[in-house]
Amino acid sequence: MRTTLIARGAAVAAAAAMVALSAAPASAATVSQASATALSLELAGTGARDTGTYAVTNNGSTESAEGTNEPLITALGGQDAIHAGTLAQDAVANKDATSAACAGLAGDGATLVAAGSGNCLSGGDNISLDAASLDFSDVELVSSGLFQGVDQQLITALEEAGLSQTAVTDPLSAALKDVLAAMGDPGLHLDLGAVQSSCTADKDSASGDSSLANSRAYVTIPTVGDVTLVDLPVDPGVDQKVVTDLTGVTDAILDALRTQFTNALNGALAPANDGLDQLQTQVLDTALGQIESQLAPLEENVLDITLNSQDTAPGEITVTALDVKVLPAAQEFVGGSLAHLTIGTSHCGPNSPVTKTVAKNPPKAANPPASVPTVVTAGMESYDDGSAGRIALVTLLLLAAAGAGVATYVRMLRRG
Amino acid sequence: MVLGGLVWPGGSAAVEVPPGAPKRLELPGLNTKAKVVPIRLDGEVLDPPRNPREIGWWVGSAKPGSAQGQTVVTGHTVHTGGGSLNKLDHIEEGQEVDIVTKDGTFQHQVDSVEVLSRKELAEQAQRIFGQDHGDGRLVIITCTDWNGSSYDSNIVVLAHRFNALPRVQKKS
């Protein structure tokens, strides 16, 4: 399955709504305003989907609202990326020229909190979001290149043993296909706790923040299991970029190929009595080098993840908790379309008819006064990775097998 | 202009290993190797990765190979065993500590091993973790002094860099 996400259209629509509100002339008696969009995504070829934007304004005496502040996951129909969870998007605009908004996503069981208190989601289970599937079907061996640089004497020895070069390269190509088939289409997932943003604004300035609870990106490989790409920070800095390194995935593929290639070469070269060890080494290195170079884009960066994205203007701010795109470098492995997803977009202000002073939201982590750790909590009492249970199970099986053997032997003695 | 990284003679041509995010920490004298993942400060608390077999690299510290600052890594000591830095209390001055990036390996030699109480660590935090000094020094830290329910102290290992080995490229 190739699932791809693009939310550019949805994000643009949401942003347009915000800009429309923001651009409303102050003379139109808009004293305060805010808006929130819980989630937006677009599937390649099937259009944009989002939870809509809940937007409020206050004219100094009355608050008006557009959209819904009770978004439902079911509104995101026609997509396979996300099926369950609790959405939140809420905003308030007060006549005293203050406003607040919050937006986000959490797993089932989360508690909703009204805007104005910072976060609007509390607790809840984690939720798994299918970002994409990796596709390795285009990875191939260039058979003609496998013997480049190989000693002519070895080629001659190969021919003297009655073997053609094809007899060596064909088993390698077959082994590559087998390994990649076993790998399947590894899924690229986001495991998310409560992901949310919030903002507040008054007549002078605006500020916002984001938080992500227990969130990570990981890949599921059928033959390996889950490989964590990156743990997302709970309290990210402003516009914090996160790099997803798939070295663990490429290492798993190369390890499997090394074994399979070695077996294939042993079989192919068996008719040559001396095994042609040098030839085997040279061809193996060349073949693995070919594959490694093809997988290189995965070792750079696959997902362009921005946390706590903040866009500020005098007296107003837009905060997006999580923004995810699949980078072009990885495009060949995740299908033909880019993926883009945004979660938790909150917008506050501007809230005064007078000209605002520029109040660029102060970044939390930027230029901190030499912030260093003062506590290092690097001790644990115990850790159970499940190995004790596995060892106990194996021991029980061995004991059972030994018992069965003894019983059989005793029966044989009795019969004898 | 090269601000960081080491240039080391390799045959007829000098080979540079640029600064880069650490991938693996190796302590040959303790027969210890562990994967390194990035971690961030939570307030003023540096908490290693949830998986105690992994090492955390504080992203607010220098990348290995940097000419300035110091690289700070931390890993768990697990009382019942299995922590990535369980053996750190056996390290000695002069021993080698290596940190591997995607471009090569930076070799360090241990200069000092200190056991500090939590209060002492907080008081000396700028000296140990500050990034305005260090010249690329490596700082390794874990917990020690199990009191039956928690750990009372930290072990801090300081090591200077003495060599950089570029990653060996496979022949194609």
What is the ipTM, given to two decimal places? 0.89
Are residues A38 and A150 located together in one domain of the fold?
no
Query: What's the gap in Å between the CA of B13 and the closest CA on chain A?
Result: 23
Task: Please tell me the distance from the alpha carbon of residue A192 to that of residue A126, in angstroms, as a whole number.
Answer: 5
From first to last of its 172 residues, chain B has per-residue pLDDT tens of 333 444 443 333 345 888 888 999 999 999 999 999 888 888 888 999 888 989 999 988 998 998 888 999 999 999 998 899 999 999 999 999 999 998 899 999 999 999 999 899 999 999 999 988 888 899 999 999 998 888 999 999 999 999 999 987 655 4
CB A145 within 8 A of CB A154: no
Residues of chain A numbered 293-312 and touching chain B (CB < 8 Å): 293, 299
Task: Please tell me the distance from the alpha carbon of residue A54 to that of residue B34, in angstroms, as a whole number.
Answer: 48
User: Residue A277: its pLDDT value, please?
Assistant: 76
Please report whether residue A314 resides in a domain: yes
Are residues A321 and A278 located together in one domain of the fold?
no
Please report whether residue A278 resides in a domain: yes
Domains and CATH numbers, chain B: 20-164 (2.40.260.10)
Q: How far is CA B171 from CA A155, A258, B28, in A?
A: 18, 15, 27
User: Residue A266: its pLDDT value, please?
Assistant: 83
Q: Judging by DSSP bridges, how do beta strands A375-376 and B45-46 pair with one another?
A: parallel
Residues of chain A with pLDDT under 50: 1-27, 336-338, 354-369
A376 touches chain B (CB under 8 A): yes
Please report whether residue A358 resides in a domain: no
Mutate to test the interface with A, among B151, B155, B157, B169 (most CBs of A within 10 A): B151
What number of CA atoms fall less than 13 Å from residue B20's CA on the CB side? 20
Query: Bridge-partner residues for B96, per DSSP?
Result: B109
Are residues A14 and A163 located together in one domain of the fold?
no
Place of tokens 């193996």: A284
- In terms of phi and psi (left: phi > 0; alpha: psi -120 to 50; beta: otherwise), the region of A13 is alpha
User: Residue B20: its pLDDT value, please?
Assistant: 87
Query: Which one of A287, A319, A348 terminates a domain?
Result: A348
Please report whether residue A267 resides in a domain: yes
Query: What's the gap in Å between the CA of A260 and the closest CA on chain B?
Result: 19
State the sign of the Cα–Cα–Cα–Cα dihedral B105, B109, B115, B119. Answer: negative
Helices A277-300 and A247-268: crossing angle, nearest 10°? Answer: 160
CB contact under 8 A, B143 and A375: no
CB contact under 8 A, B78 and A385: no
Please report whether residue A281 resides in a domain: yes
Are residues A51 and A199 located together in one domain of the fold?
yes
Please report whether residue A373 resides in a domain: no
User: Residue A382: its pLDDT value, please?
Assistant: 85
CB contact under 8 A, B126 and A233: no
Where would I find the H helices in A245-363? 247-268, 277-300
Please report whether residue A167 resides in a domain: yes
Are residues A69 and A209 located together in one domain of the fold?
yes
Q: Which amino acid is at A380?
A: M
Q: Which residue of A has its CA nearest to B145?
A: A379
Please report whether residue A401 resides in a domain: no
Retrieve residue A100's tokens: 């607040």
Burial class (CB in 10 A: 0-12, 13-18, 19+), A344: buried
Are residues A49 and A97 located together in one domain of the fold?
yes
- Collect all residues of chain A within an 8 Å Cβ-Cβ radius of residue B143: 376-379
Are residues A124 and A155 located together in one domain of the fold?
no
Are residues A63 and A117 located together in one domain of the fold?
yes
Say whether the peptide bond before residue A350 is cis (omega within 30 degrees of 0): yes
Task: Please tell me the distance from the alpha carbon of residue B90 to that of residue A376, in angstroms, as a whole number.
Answer: 19
Where would I find the H helices in A184-276? 247-268
CB contact under 8 A, A373 and B45: yes
CB contact under 8 A, B172 and A290: yes
CB contact under 8 A, A377 and B46: yes
Are residues A274 and A327 located together in one domain of the fold?
no
Backbone φ and ψ for A247, nearest 5 degrees, come out as -55, -40
Q: Which residue of A has its CA nearest to B54?
A: A378
User: Residue A387: its pLDDT value, please?
Assistant: 57
User: Residue A36: its pLDDT value, please?
Assistant: 94
Are residues A105 and A166 located together in one domain of the fold?
no
Its domain, for residue A158, covers 143-182+253-295
What's the domain count of chain A?
2
CB contact under 8 A, B151 and A376: no
Identity of the residue in B47, B83, B144 whose CB atom sits nearest the CB atom of A377? B47
Are residues A288 and A308 located together in one domain of the fold?
no
Place of tokens 């220098």: B62
Burial class (CB in 10 A: 0-12, 13-18, 19+), A143: middle
Task: Please tell me the distance from the alpha carbon of residue B2 to that of residue B15, in angstroms, as a whole number.
Answer: 13
Are residues A260 and A315 located together in one domain of the fold?
no
- Collect all residues of chain B within an 8 Å Cβ-Cβ radius of residue A375: 44-46, 118, 121-122
Residues of chain A numbered 70-89 and touching chain B (CB < 8 Å): none
Identity of the residue in A299, A372, A379 whose CB atom sits nearest the CB atom of B130? A372
Q: Which of A49, A65, A56 has its CA nearest to residue A11?
A: A49
**A·B CB contacts under 8 A:** 116
Query: What's the gap in Å between the CA of B158 and the closest CA on chain A?
Result: 16
